[in-house]
Amino acid sequence: MQARVQTVAFQGVEVVPVDVQVMIAPGNLGFPIVGLADKAVGESRERVRSALRALGLALPPQRIAVNLSPADLAKEGSHYDLPIALALLTAMGVIPKEALSGVVALGELALDGGLTRVPGILPAALHASRQGLGLICPAACGGEAAWAGDHLELLAAPSLLALINHVRGQQSLPRPQGVAAEDVAVYPDLADIKGQETAKRVLEVAAAGGHNLFNFSFIDPMIRPSPRRSNAGHKRGPASGEAKTLEDPLADAPRRPSEREPKAGQDGREPAVPKSAAHYGIRHLPDPYEPEPSGGR
């Protein structure tokens, strides 16, 4: 008995189609998952087994093999739970094969059979819409998936049991409506700033037009960022292997091009760059750029 269900993998913001294949055959008992699956995907066998047991279903006493194709593409995340469970239920004969043809499924399973939210729903929905496919996702993600368009065939289920009943015609799940996430963050208000009308006007114009900002300022010797927090960002950079720790995050930032070290190629070294000139989202440029003189003085 063999079945397959379509899902997706994420490579940054790109969506890659993945074919989940399940085969139930005689042999030694086992439930292997192959296809470059990471730890979260490998643990899905326990979530799937527990969810089916919560529904009163037992796995057949045979070997269950799960292949995530293409096999040379790394798979990560818990959203493979639902397609694996659906393919397994199809191979067991619980769900008819034609019910899952032409749909993309993704979602995480709880031990009681519930479906929980997973990231990447909107990119997956847009991918399914472009390919002319439907989408099956958790009910908690239905409002996000609905933004892919009204033409997308969308099925958002709160649990695996509700999904089984829907595809078997025993229950009808309504199509979710698009829901925008509420921004509950508290941001600083320019109205709290006294004076600085020109600076505030510049920020308002930049924000209204979606423009970039060039911050030209001096470094106040009385205000220094935390070396610990700045060095944490420094250690995440390409020079993280250096043993040196910056006591003053801004002390090593070159002030002028003439103060920089020789360029790469002159003595085999890379050009010097500010170790931590960008601090808390603001890049301090103490002096404007001055090009090197073309001739000697």
**Per-residue model confidence as pLDDT tens digits over 196-231:** 888 888 888 888 888 877 766 555 555 555 544 444
52-61 contacts: CB < 8 A, separation 24 or more?
52/85, 52/88, 52/89, 52/113, 54/111, 54/112, 54/113, 55/113, 55/160, 55/161, 55/164, 57/89, 57/92, 57/94, 59/31, 59/88, 60/24, 60/92, 61/29
Which residue ranges of the chain lie beneath pLDDT 50? Answer: 227-265, 270-284, 297
Residue 208: how many CB atoms within 10 A of its CB?
8
Please give the pLDDT value at position 272: 45
- Domain final residue, candidates 167, 196, 222: 167
Closest CA to 108 of 17, 7, 33, 15: 7
- Is residue 174, in this structure, part of any structural domain at all? no
- Is residue 289, in this structure, part of any structural domain at all? yes
Q: What is the pTM of this model?
A: 0.64
Please give the pLDDT value at position 294: 56
Please give the pLDDT value at position 187: 78
Please give the pLDDT value at position 280: 45
Please give the pLDDT value at position 115: 98
- Is residue 179, in this structure, part of any structural domain at all? no
Are 102 and 50 contained in the same domain?
yes
Are 141 and 200 contained in the same domain?
no
- Integer Cα distance of 21 and 43 in angstroms: 17
Closest CA to 55 of 161, 170, 168, 172: 161
Quote the number of domains for the chain: 2
Question: What is the Cα gyration radius of the chain?
Answer: 28
Please give the pLDDT value at position 291: 54
Are 244 and 291 contained in the same domain?
yes
Domain span including residue 219: 188-297
The one-character DSSP state at 175 is P
Are 11 and 156 contained in the same domain?
yes
- Is residue 69, in this structure, part of any structural domain at all? yes
- Is residue 177, in this structure, part of any structural domain at all? no
